[in-house]
Structure 1
Amino acid sequence: MGKIIAIANQKGGVGKTTTSVNLAASLGVLEKKVLLIDADPQANATSGLGLIVEQVEVGTYQLLEHTVSAEESIVKTDSPNVDIIPAHIDLVAIEIELVDKDEREYMLKNAIAHLKSSYDYILIDCAPSLGLLTLNALTASDAVIIPIQCEYFALEGLGKLLNTVKSVQKIHNQELDIEGLLLTMYDSRLRLSNQVVEEVQKHFSDMVFETIIQRNVRLGEAPSYGESIIKYDVSSKGASNYLSLAEEIIKKNI
């Protein structure tokens, strides 16, 4: 039975999409069958895996509207063992369209629950907000990974996100677990980076992944080629960080 993991943080620029794309690719090369769902209207995970966003005709929007089945919205990618349900800018409209629907928080859950038997991992790349799209992702998931960048405002907003997770647990999804807090954009030369790591590990000890994602030029370049870091430069620090994260997650879920 597969596991559904949302990658969420309402702050932008913390490495959500970078993590979604590269964790999916890393799990794929470690021979796990992975589905990545792009639930962000910016559609960066879609372009990050080599799809042309403008050409996406069926994806997360149609899935949430229930006008297509999950199977009809899945697209194969060039990454080994990785499929994607792509996004398009029209996903922006979904929050307004779902607002007066019954059970609006369960649209994604109802659409993808049966896919758990077909994949080892289903990853959901969330939008940088705590709106209805992210709520749908958290309601549909077994667990959530929270990326935190090693910068000054890192912990700002984390309390708000953890409260959202608590209220989703209480109201919509009692099974929702925190898979882990993932420290990203770490630069060992910066005192601030090291302080953030210490602070997060001190407050959240067991919840923090051992793997830390370091700042890496290649990691920043890969999306402009529509490739994961595994395909773009497997020998880079970024690739070894994400492979290490994938191994840590696999070990945790044995």
Structure 2
Amino acid sequence: MSDLKTPRIIAITNQKGGVGKTTTAINLGAALAELGETVLIVDIDPQGNASTGLGVSVRDRDQTTYDLLHEDAPLARVVHKTGVERLDVAPATTDLSSTDVALGTQENRVFLLRDALSTDTARGYDYILIDCPPSLSLLTVNALVACHAVLVPLQAEFFALEGLSQLMLTVRDVRETANPGLRIEGVVLTMYDQRNNLSQQVEADARATLGDLVLHTRIPRNVRLSEAPSYALPALIYDPLSKGSLAYMDLAKEILARHAKRKEPA
């Protein structure tokens, strides 16, 4: 990669599982790539679902984010091309599940991912999206230390806001101790059904509580979003005109617009 950049690094995280975190990583990455950005998805979830959803089979994961964090493997050896132009992935395996125990006493343990992404290979991308595990583990803390901002998928369901306060406290702690520039990119409502009173109430509560942190784009419940991973494709490739695909394109455009606005001179 010849043109070195300063990539925008976004950690996609929520310690609650099943909120559309990996779906968001895959499809936001594909949408940004479709809009002309070069994107790397870094999978640090031991389940490796983002890797599978982007077509990297387990048998092809010779070098993974485990090697990146545990063995000092260079990022260039870990990255795989996907079937989507301008979209790459650094895959994960279940080996990552040992990270908290294996690295628990290592002095620089929270800086490992930051250091791994401070390379010329990383600087070849416009955006790096980190798909985090559904927990506030050492892996997630590594992502918070390495990133510029946090994107939080929030499922439009009862108790959606419960537990979010703990994530916000963790973000604050990381900002105070290891990453002073860390900010909240936004909260994106997922699995939203506009015909459902509960979804509308969750949105109202989220906007009343979090204000402008809640992004305008809402990701609907959509069968194509659920089907696409079984074909190892982002929904934007599997069915680009589905409501889910169009929503992720809107999310990518909203994030790009926010970044452009921040770069404008005061």
Per the normalisation by structure 1, the TM-score is 0.98
Distance 1:176 1:144 in 2: 8
Q: State which drifts further: 198-207 or 39-48.
A: 198-207
1:35 to 19, 34, 40: 40
Report if the CA contact (8 A) 1:54-1:88 is conserved.
no
1:81 to 82, 86, 100: 86
Report if the CA contact (8 A) 2:9-2:146 is conserved.
yes
**Secondary structure of 2:218 counterpart:** coil
**Secondary structure of 1:127 counterpart:** coil
Report if the CA contact (8 A) 1:152-1:192 is conserved.
yes
Within 5 Å, give how 1:6-25 maps onto structure 2.
Answer: 6-25=11-30
Structure 1 counterpart of 2:3? none
The AA in structure 1 aligned to 2:157 is: E
Is residue 71 of structure 2 the alignment partner of residue 46 of structure 1?
no
1:246 to 241, 249, 252: 252
Distance 1:54 1:116 in 2: 24
2:135 to 126, 129, 141: 129
C-alpha deviation, 1:97, in angstroms: 1.0
C-alpha deviation, 1:116, in angstroms: 4.6
Structure 2 counterpart of 1:168? 174
Is residue 210 of structure 2 the alignment partner of residue 235 of structure 1?
no
Report if the CA contact (8 A) 1:38-1:46 is conserved.
yes
The AA in structure 1 aligned to 2:52 is: S
Structure 2 counterpart of 1:69? 74
**Secondary structure of 1:175 counterpart:** coil
C-alpha deviation, 1:55, in angstroms: 2.9
The AA in structure 2 aligned to 1:60 is: T
Q: Give a deviation string over 1:50-109, Cα, whole Å, max 9, x none.
A: 111243110100000143101111111111100110001111112211111111000000
Within 5 Å, give how 1:68-217 maps onto structure 2.
Answer: 68-114=73-119, 115-217=121-223
Distance 2:7 2:133 in 1: 23
Report if the CA contact (8 A) 1:144-1:177 is conserved.
yes
Q: Give a deviation string over 1:186-220, Cα, whole Å, max 9, x none.
A: 01121111000011011111111110001001111
Q: How many equivalent pairs are there?
A: 254
Report if the CA contact (8 A) 2:30-2:84 is conserved.
yes
The AA in structure 1 aligned to 2:48 is: A
Q: Which runs of 5+ in 1 are unaligned?
A: none
Distance 1:230 1:139 in 2: 30
Report if the CA contact (8 A) 1:66-1:111 is conserved.
no
Distance 2:122 2:182 in 1: 15
Distance 2:210 2:99 in 1: 34
Distance 1:247 1:159 in 2: 27
The AA in structure 1 aligned to 2:12 is: I
Report if the CA contact (8 A) 2:40-2:90 is conserved.
yes
**Secondary structure of 1:185 counterpart:** strand
Structure 2 counterpart of 1:58? 63
The AA in structure 2 aligned to 1:179 is: E
Q: Give a deviation string over 1:210-244, Cα, whole Å, max 9, x none.
A: 10001001111101111101110001000000000
Per the normalisation by structure 2, the TM-score is 0.94
Structure 2 counterpart of 1:225? 231
